[in-house]
Amino acid sequence: MKIRITEYLEIDLDQKKWCCQRCGQMLVDARENYKKGCLVAEKPLEEVYPALTEGQPYGFRPDPNFCRIVEFYCPACGVMIENEYLPPGHPITHDIQIDLDALIRSAT
């Protein structure tokens, strides 16, 4: 039995694994951070926030000394599961922690 958690993320209660909702790829044990099972890419700020006008020192792009964009993809189908803005050097966040035992009990 699978329980949907986010748009592209679900938990397989039988296997006790995080899965890609789109293709069913098992990512990692459901008691761990699902991001450990994803492909990770750091996106250049210039690509996400292109310059709006040439020659202007100011724009809408965050300062790269204070911000980076990290994306997490399914290793099988390539769908982006999550992205986050982090300060440089900051560890990847553990943003979803499920009480797996309670979830299994409530599903049966």
pLDDT of residue 58: 67
Alpha carbon distances (Å) from 32 to 53, 97, 99, 103 = 44, 8, 11, 15
Distance, in Å, from the CA atom of 107 to the CA atom of 98, rounded to the nearest integer, reads: 14
Residue spans of alpha helices (H) in the chain: 45-48, 100-107
DSSP code of residue 67 = -
- Tens digits of pLDDT across the chain (108 residues): 999 999 999 999 999 999 999 999 999 999 999 999 999 999 998 888 887 777 776 678 888 899 999 999 999 999 999 999 999 999 999 999 999 999 999 987
pTM, 2 dp = 0.88
Collapsing DSSP to helix, strand or coil, 102 comes out as helix
